[in-house]
Structure 1
Amino acid sequence: MLKTIPEVIAEARASLTVISAEQAVVLVKKEQGVIIDVREPSEYAEKSAQGTINIPRGLVEMKMLQLYPNETQPIFLHCATGARAILSAEQLKRVGYVNVSVISSSLDDICRAFT
Protein backbone atom coordinates (compact mmCIF):
# COMPACT_ATOMS: atom_id res chain seq x y z
CA MET A 1 0.00 0.00 0.00
CA LEU A 2 1.38 3.38 -0.98
CA LYS A 3 1.81 6.05 1.66
CA THR A 4 1.18 9.74 1.23
CA ILE A 5 4.07 12.17 1.65
CA PRO A 6 2.54 13.56 4.87
CA GLU A 7 2.40 9.98 6.24
CA VAL A 8 6.04 9.34 5.31
CA ILE A 9 7.11 12.63 6.89
CA ALA A 10 5.11 11.97 10.07
CA GLU A 11 6.74 8.53 10.43
CA ALA A 12 10.23 9.91 9.85
CA ARG A 13 9.66 12.86 12.20
CA ALA A 14 8.77 10.51 15.06
CA SER A 15 12.31 9.12 15.12
CA LEU A 16 14.15 12.45 14.79
CA THR A 17 15.18 15.30 17.07
CA VAL A 18 13.05 18.30 16.13
CA ILE A 19 13.84 21.71 17.61
CA SER A 20 12.79 25.34 17.25
CA ALA A 21 14.92 28.05 15.66
CA GLU A 22 15.58 29.53 19.11
CA GLN A 23 16.81 26.19 20.44
CA ALA A 24 18.97 25.77 17.34
CA VAL A 25 20.72 29.12 17.90
CA VAL A 26 21.77 28.03 21.38
CA LEU A 27 22.79 24.53 20.35
CA VAL A 28 24.71 25.61 17.24
CA LYS A 29 26.89 27.89 19.36
CA LYS A 30 27.26 25.42 22.22
CA GLU A 31 28.02 22.38 20.07
CA GLN A 32 29.79 24.14 17.18
CA GLY A 33 27.17 22.76 14.84
CA VAL A 34 26.64 23.30 11.15
CA ILE A 35 23.32 24.60 9.80
CA ILE A 36 22.33 23.10 6.47
CA ASP A 37 19.57 24.58 4.31
CA VAL A 38 18.36 21.71 2.12
CA ARG A 39 16.30 23.82 -0.26
CA GLU A 40 17.23 24.27 -3.91
CA PRO A 41 19.97 26.82 -4.74
CA SER A 42 17.46 29.21 -6.36
CA GLU A 43 15.35 29.21 -3.18
CA TYR A 44 18.44 29.73 -1.05
CA ALA A 45 19.59 32.65 -3.22
CA GLU A 46 16.19 34.31 -2.86
CA LYS A 47 16.14 34.16 0.95
CA SER A 48 18.41 32.43 3.43
CA ALA A 49 19.40 32.57 7.07
CA GLN A 50 22.76 34.03 8.03
CA GLY A 51 25.48 31.43 8.60
CA THR A 52 23.74 28.57 6.81
CA ILE A 53 25.19 26.32 4.12
CA ASN A 54 23.10 25.32 1.13
CA ILE A 55 23.18 21.64 0.25
CA PRO A 56 20.05 20.59 -1.67
CA ARG A 57 18.18 17.56 -0.38
CA GLY A 58 19.12 15.48 -3.44
CA LEU A 59 22.83 15.90 -2.70
CA VAL A 60 22.89 16.04 1.09
CA GLU A 61 24.27 12.57 1.85
CA MET A 62 27.07 12.77 -0.69
CA LYS A 63 28.10 16.35 0.09
CA MET A 64 27.93 15.89 3.86
CA LEU A 65 30.18 12.82 3.67
CA GLN A 66 32.70 14.95 1.74
CA LEU A 67 32.45 18.12 3.83
CA TYR A 68 31.78 16.69 7.29
CA PRO A 69 33.12 13.12 7.54
CA ASN A 70 32.81 13.08 11.37
CA GLU A 71 29.69 11.07 12.26
CA THR A 72 29.30 12.97 15.56
CA GLN A 73 29.32 16.44 13.91
CA PRO A 74 26.27 18.36 15.19
CA ILE A 75 24.08 18.95 12.13
CA PHE A 76 21.01 21.17 12.06
CA LEU A 77 18.82 20.92 8.96
CA HIS A 78 16.11 23.23 7.74
CA CYS A 79 14.04 24.07 4.68
CA ALA A 80 10.92 26.17 4.11
CA THR A 81 8.32 23.83 5.62
CA GLY A 82 10.32 21.12 7.39
CA ALA A 83 9.43 18.29 5.00
CA ARG A 84 12.70 18.21 3.05
CA ALA A 85 14.70 18.71 6.24
CA ILE A 86 12.99 15.72 7.85
CA LEU A 87 13.65 13.51 4.83
CA SER A 88 17.26 14.72 4.70
CA ALA A 89 17.78 14.04 8.40
CA GLU A 90 16.44 10.53 7.96
CA GLN A 91 18.95 9.93 5.15
CA LEU A 92 21.87 11.35 7.15
CA LYS A 93 21.01 9.07 10.05
CA ARG A 94 20.84 6.16 7.62
CA VAL A 95 24.44 6.79 6.47
CA GLY A 96 25.65 6.99 10.07
CA TYR A 97 25.39 10.55 11.41
CA VAL A 98 24.35 10.44 15.06
CA ASN A 99 23.86 14.10 15.98
CA VAL A 100 21.24 15.34 13.51
CA SER A 101 18.42 17.75 14.36
CA VAL A 102 15.65 19.30 12.29
CA ILE A 103 14.71 22.94 12.82
CA SER A 104 10.92 22.96 12.62
CA SER A 105 10.34 26.73 12.57
CA SER A 106 9.25 28.68 9.51
CA LEU A 107 11.90 30.09 7.21
CA ASP A 108 11.09 33.62 8.42
CA ASP A 109 11.58 32.54 12.05
CA ILE A 110 14.86 30.83 11.19
CA CYS A 111 16.11 33.91 9.37
CA ARG A 112 15.17 36.10 12.36
CA ALA A 113 16.79 33.75 14.88
CA PHE A 114 20.09 33.56 12.99
CA THR A 115 20.66 37.30 12.43
Structure 2
Amino acid sequence: MVKTSQELVLEAKAQITEISVAQLAEILNDHHTVLIDVREPDEYQQGYIDRSVNFPRGMLEMKIHQHPSVVAHCDAKTALEDLADKPVYLMCRSGARSALAALTLKQMGLKNVFSIAGGFQSWIDAGFKIET
Protein backbone atom coordinates (compact mmCIF):
# COMPACT_ATOMS: atom_id res chain seq x y z
CA MET A 1 0.00 0.00 0.00
CA VAL A 2 1.35 3.39 -0.99
CA LYS A 3 1.34 6.08 1.71
CA THR A 4 1.84 9.81 1.47
CA SER A 5 4.27 11.64 3.73
CA GLN A 6 1.28 13.14 5.54
CA GLU A 7 -0.08 9.66 6.24
CA LEU A 8 3.29 8.56 7.61
CA VAL A 9 3.42 11.61 9.88
CA LEU A 10 -0.12 10.97 11.16
CA GLU A 11 0.79 7.34 11.91
CA ALA A 12 3.94 8.46 13.75
CA LYS A 13 2.01 11.06 15.77
CA ALA A 14 -0.40 8.34 16.89
CA GLN A 15 2.55 6.47 18.44
CA ILE A 16 4.53 9.29 20.03
CA THR A 17 4.02 12.08 22.54
CA GLU A 18 3.89 15.68 21.41
CA ILE A 19 4.28 18.70 23.65
CA SER A 20 3.57 22.36 22.95
CA VAL A 21 6.15 25.09 22.54
CA ALA A 22 4.90 26.60 25.81
CA GLN A 23 5.66 23.31 27.58
CA LEU A 24 9.10 23.23 25.96
CA ALA A 25 9.81 26.77 27.15
CA GLU A 26 9.14 25.63 30.72
CA ILE A 27 11.26 22.51 30.30
CA LEU A 28 14.18 24.55 28.96
CA ASN A 29 14.60 26.06 32.42
CA ASP A 30 16.37 22.79 33.23
CA HIS A 31 19.83 23.29 31.78
CA HIS A 32 20.25 19.55 31.27
CA THR A 33 17.50 19.36 28.67
CA VAL A 34 18.33 17.26 25.61
CA LEU A 35 16.88 19.29 22.71
CA ILE A 36 17.67 18.10 19.20
CA ASP A 37 16.80 20.15 16.14
CA VAL A 38 16.37 17.77 13.20
CA ARG A 39 16.23 20.45 10.53
CA GLU A 40 18.89 20.70 7.84
CA PRO A 41 22.01 22.73 8.72
CA ASP A 42 21.03 25.66 6.46
CA GLU A 43 17.64 25.87 8.21
CA TYR A 44 19.28 25.69 11.63
CA GLN A 45 21.75 28.46 10.81
CA GLN A 46 18.88 30.82 9.99
CA GLY A 47 17.70 30.56 13.61
CA TYR A 48 17.61 28.05 16.45
CA ILE A 49 16.81 27.63 20.13
CA ASP A 50 19.65 28.14 22.58
CA ARG A 51 21.18 24.85 23.75
CA SER A 52 19.66 22.87 20.89
CA VAL A 53 21.92 20.49 18.99
CA ASN A 54 21.50 20.15 15.24
CA PHE A 55 21.34 16.55 14.06
CA PRO A 56 19.51 16.56 10.70
CA ARG A 57 16.72 14.02 10.36
CA GLY A 58 18.69 12.06 7.79
CA MET A 59 21.61 11.56 10.18
CA LEU A 60 19.89 11.41 13.56
CA GLU A 61 20.13 7.67 14.09
CA MET A 62 23.81 7.72 13.17
CA LYS A 63 24.74 10.74 15.32
CA ILE A 64 22.48 10.61 18.39
CA HIS A 65 25.25 8.96 20.41
CA GLN A 66 27.41 12.07 19.77
CA HIS A 67 25.04 14.34 21.68
CA PRO A 68 27.00 16.49 24.17
CA SER A 69 25.15 14.95 27.12
CA VAL A 70 26.60 11.52 26.33
CA VAL A 71 29.73 12.33 24.33
CA ALA A 72 32.01 11.09 27.13
CA HIS A 73 31.02 7.52 26.28
CA CYS A 74 33.29 5.82 23.84
CA ASP A 75 30.77 3.74 21.92
CA ALA A 76 27.33 4.28 20.43
CA LYS A 77 25.63 1.49 22.39
CA THR A 78 26.77 2.82 25.78
CA ALA A 79 25.80 6.35 24.79
CA LEU A 80 22.34 5.22 23.68
CA GLU A 81 21.87 3.31 26.91
CA ASP A 82 22.70 6.52 28.78
CA LEU A 83 20.06 8.41 26.77
CA ALA A 84 17.46 5.62 26.99
CA ASP A 85 15.72 6.96 30.10
CA LYS A 86 16.44 10.69 29.66
CA PRO A 87 13.78 12.93 28.18
CA VAL A 88 14.76 13.80 24.61
CA TYR A 89 12.94 16.64 22.84
CA LEU A 90 12.88 16.87 19.05
CA MET A 91 12.09 19.89 16.93
CA CYS A 92 11.86 20.59 13.21
CA ARG A 93 10.23 23.38 11.22
CA SER A 94 6.60 22.26 11.49
CA GLY A 95 6.51 19.13 13.66
CA ALA A 96 6.45 16.51 10.89
CA ARG A 97 10.12 15.48 10.74
CA SER A 98 10.37 15.59 14.52
CA ALA A 99 7.39 13.21 14.79
CA LEU A 100 9.05 10.75 12.41
CA ALA A 101 12.33 11.15 14.29
CA ALA A 102 10.61 10.56 17.64
CA LEU A 103 9.13 7.31 16.37
CA THR A 104 12.53 6.17 15.12
CA LEU A 105 14.20 6.92 18.45
CA LYS A 106 11.45 5.02 20.27
CA GLN A 107 12.13 2.09 17.96
CA MET A 108 15.81 2.37 18.93
CA GLY A 109 14.85 1.93 22.60
CA LEU A 110 14.68 5.49 23.92
CA LYS A 111 11.75 5.67 26.32
CA ASN A 112 11.09 9.38 26.86
CA VAL A 113 11.04 10.96 23.44
CA PHE A 114 8.90 14.01 22.69
CA SER A 115 8.15 15.87 19.47
CA ILE A 116 7.41 19.59 19.60
CA ALA A 117 3.99 20.21 18.06
CA GLY A 118 4.13 22.89 15.39
CA GLY A 119 7.92 22.92 15.50
CA PHE A 120 10.20 25.91 15.20
CA GLN A 121 7.56 27.90 13.35
CA SER A 122 5.23 27.65 16.37
CA TRP A 123 8.14 28.67 18.63
CA ILE A 124 8.63 31.82 16.54
CA ASP A 125 4.89 32.50 16.28
CA ALA A 126 4.61 32.32 20.08
CA GLY A 127 7.31 34.99 20.39
CA PHE A 128 9.93 32.88 22.13
CA LYS A 129 13.58 33.84 21.82
CA ILE A 130 15.76 32.43 19.05
CA GLU A 131 19.47 32.60 18.36
CA THR A 132 20.93 33.52 14.99
Q: TM tier, shorter chain?
A: 0.7 to 0.9
Tell me the CA shift for residue 101 of structure 1: 0.3
Tell me the CA shift for residue 82 of structure 1: 0.8
Amino acid at match of 1:77: L
**Structure 1, gaps ≥5 residues long:** none
Q: What is the aligned-residue RMSD (CA, Å)?
A: 1.9
10 and 74 in structure 1: CA distance in 2 versus 1, 3 angstrom threshold: same
Rg comparison, structure with higher value: 2
Per-residue displacement from partner, 1:54-82 (whole Å, max 9, x unpaired)? 00001111211333422112110011011
Matched residues, percent identical?
37
Q: Please tell me whether the aligned partners of residues 94 and 120 of structure 2 are also in contact (alpha carbons under 8 angstroms).
A: yes
Aligned to 1:58, what secondary structure does the other structure show? helix
Aligned to 2:29, what secondary structure does the other structure show? helix
95 and 106 in structure 1: CA distance in 2 versus 1, 3 angstrom threshold: closer
Q: Please tell me whether the aligned partners of residues 32 and 74 of structure 1 are also in contact (alpha carbons under 8 angstroms).
A: no
Q: Which has the higher helix share?
A: 1
Greater mean alpha carbon deviation, residues 95-104 or residues 26-35: 26-35
Aligned residues: 115
Q: Please tell me whether the aligned partners of residues 37 and 77 of structure 1 are also in contact (alpha carbons under 8 angstroms).
A: yes
TM-score where L is the length of structure 2:
0.77
Greater mean alpha carbon deviation, residues 6-15 or residues 19-28: 19-28
**Structure 2, gaps ≥5 residues long:** 71-78
Aligned to 2:18, what secondary structure does the other structure show? strand
Between the aligned partners of 2:52 and 2:112, the Cα distance in structure 1 is 17
Amino acid at match of 1:92: L
Between the aligned partners of 1:52 and 1:66, the Cα distance in structure 2 is 13
